[in-house]
Structure 1
Amino acid sequence: MRGKFLAMKRLLFLIVVFCLMGTSSLFAQKERFKALFIFNFTKNIEWPAASRGNQFVIVVIGNSELIAELETIAQTQRVGNMPIKVVDYTSLDNLNGCHLVYLSPSKSGMLSSLLTNVNGKHTLVVSDGKNLAAKGSGISFVQDGDKLKFEVSRKNIEKQGLKSSSALANLGIVVD
């Protein structure tokens, strides 16, 4: 009897471990997709010549898993002729010179402060949550069932002095 109980405990433990591994694997895959989306966004947005520089700076506020995925991309890819620099920020201080800011879902309450901080600095704001593009970000990731999609606000992108391609609007969910 005791042997069956121990066998059941082990089996239950293994099931829990495999479930947790699957969940973390799905989370990692989702972050990998977000990083790829973000890199591809850079191909569909035009920054003014004056705001370019010798590095394309992506700031991430609140998501270390995404940072790792973006750094992997940065090792082999460029935006135009600029190498990519990924920066982990915990606050909204000193966002000068960044081209793109990703705001994680856990930090979405900072969106209005972020928008004030980057106003006029030619910065694409990418957020993560439904209706955030309607609230001011240029692009926002949304979950549609098991699919990752994104909302696009061409108006908000243009407010930052950036131009978006029609391909970006065709691939996303346009909110304005």
Structure 2
Amino acid sequence: MKAAFLFNFTRFVTWSHAENSAEPLEICIVGTDPFKELLDPIRGRLSQGRELQLRYPEINSDLSGCDVLYISESQSKNLNLLFDAARQQGILTVSDLPEFVRKGGMVGYVKQGNVIRFEINLKAATDAGLTINSRLLELAVRVLR
């Protein structure tokens, strides 16, 4: 379910730096990959006319080129560093870390009973130059403004 959400998030976000729609849309996973082969089916699919690519950068590597940055639990100590890079480079941050959106992340998975839902920190996204479609905002269980 989290992998499907990750793909769908790319359909409802507009990146201000994405002037060339021919460029691939890059989903980066930093830290321990919780998805394993679950993301493989989205590789090469189109979202907003852009081909999806997956990349697994190291924490201290250059994140340029990333459009979406999934931050795994193993990177919880590096949140501020990752948030700063994401804000400067216009990268959508996503994670299932507890209180992720309250700490400054943009989209956080939350579990409600047996169902996975998500929260959105609209201010963090706007500060990074991202626009989140109102349809996605309506589906969120909580939106921080």
TM-score (norm 1): 0.74
Alignment check: 8 A CA contact 2:33 2:72 kept: no
Tell me by how many angstroms 1:68 deviates. 2.1
SS at match of 2:56: strand
Tell me by how many angstroms 1:135 deviates. 1.1
User: Could you say which residue in structure 2 is the equivalent of 1:61?
Assistant: 30
Alignment check: 8 A CA contact 1:115 1:136 kept: yes
Looking at secondary structure, tell me which structure has more helix per residue.
1
* TM superposition outliers: structure 1 runs of 4+ over 4 Å: none
In structure 1, what is the Cα distance between the partners aligned to 2:83 and 2:20? 17
Gaps of 5+ in 1: 1-32
User: Could you say which residue in structure 1 is the equivalent of 2:121?
Assistant: 153
User: Could you say which residue in structure 2 is the equivalent of 1:111?
Assistant: 79
SS at match of 1:89: coil
5 Å matches for 1:36-115?
36-48=4-16, 49-50=18-19, 52=21, 54-75=23-44, 77-115=45-83
In structure 2, what is the Cα distance between the partners aligned to 1:163 and 1:121? 14
TM-score (norm 2): 0.88
Larger radius of gyration: 1
Tell me which of the two structures has the higher relative contact order, counting C-alpha pairs closer than 8 angstroms and 6 or more residues apart. Answer: 2
User: Could you say which residue in structure 2 is the equivalent of 1:163?
Assistant: 131
User: Could you say which residue in structure 2 is the equivalent of 1:123?
Assistant: 91
Percent of residue pairs bearing the same amino acid type: 27
In structure 2, what is the Cα distance between the partners aligned to 1:98 and 1:90? 12
SS at match of 1:37: helix
